Amino acid sequence: MSVTSPPPSAEAEPHDCGMLDVGDGHRIYWEVRGNPRGKPAVVVHGGPGSGCSPRAPRAFDLGRYRVVLFDQRNCGRSTPHAADPSVSLLHNTTDHLVADMERLRHHLGIGRWLLYGGSWGSTLLLAYAERHPERVTEIVVPSVTTTRRSEIDWLYRGVGRFFPEAWDRFVTGSGTGPDGDLVGAYARLVEDPDPVVRTRAVADWLAWEDAVVSAEGMGAPYAARPSAGQTAMVRICAWYFSHGAWLEEGALIRDAHRLGTLPGELVHGRLDLGGPVHTAWELARNWPGARLSVVESAGHLGGAETLRLVRAATDRFAA
């Protein structure tokens, strides 16, 4: 693909943005960065409920890519926002988000695009790709997650053996015992009519998330978010995870064969305690076009080597 690079200012800031009506009273925020004539790519953010990050385009040569970012339902700049306790999450499911991505692709006049995203973002983009493989050129995933119930149970129970003090606080905050439905309990607490109860539940959930990545040396990234973003993310996370993301257990790995030889680059940290590398390994075994690179020194949040491998993949796919 031969493209003409835009001036640096066009690469650094969005050159187009807007709000897209996706139905059910929802409007999602979207923006486009990079070269308007470049290879289309979409960034699928994590969380769920974290909103898109302005750092995500670092994975791309913006002189060669037209990079689309969007905030999934009820978070970021999308409306209505889940920080408002009166806002219902009823029309926020994996199926809704897959449909939103297709609507956004059509709205922007894109025929096919590269998918990029990690953590929850990898779950959503895999769900999209397995339903619409004809709309995808390549896939790049740092930190592979498929949101199986077994993965959710590990993140909120199993990995507690590495952080017993923090997990004990997480269990205590849930109001259940260690064998109880912790995620379901928090899903109820963040919907409690008492704002004190909701605030405490959000803080306890984020403290656990930060504990899981504490060995990665990046501080407390979850608790550092603005309060509205914290509330939205915890509400949406608890909503999705208490329902197993409305996905049949193991379906994304089972159906990875639908991607065939569609090129995929999977990059996963060996030290990812919250999402062990086994999931990435299983996915790669079932997807003929995928290549897995394991970064020995990285965890869930990645780092310089993860970014280098991701950028090498997008550079290769740009050609």
Q: Which residues are catalytic?
A: 119, 272, 300
Centroid of chain to Cα 134: 22
Question: Residue 80 has which token pair?
Answer: 């209505």
For 2, phi then psi, to 5°, come to -105, 120
Structure tokens at 95: 């199926």
Secondary structure of the chain: what % helix, strand, coil (to 5)? 45, 15, 40
- The residue assigned the tokens 């895999």 is 126
Tell me, what amino acid is at 102?
E
DSSP code for 133: G
How far is residue 259's CA from residue 131's CA, in Å, rounded to a whole number? 9
Cβ 48 vs Cβ 82: under 8 Å: no
Got the DSSP string for 37-99? TSEEEEE---TTT----TTGGGGS-TTTEEEEEEPPTTSTT-BS-TTSTT---TT-SHHHHHH
Reduced to 3 states (helix: H, G, I; strand: E, B; else coil), residue 210 is helix
CA distances, 191 to each of 101, 160, 197, 224 (Å): 27, 25, 9, 22
Helix (H, G, I), strand (E, B) or coil at 291: strand
Helix-helix angle 94-107:120-131, to 10 degrees: 70
Contact 190, 198 (CB under 8 A): yes
* Cβ atoms within 10 Å of 307's Cβ, excluding its own: 17
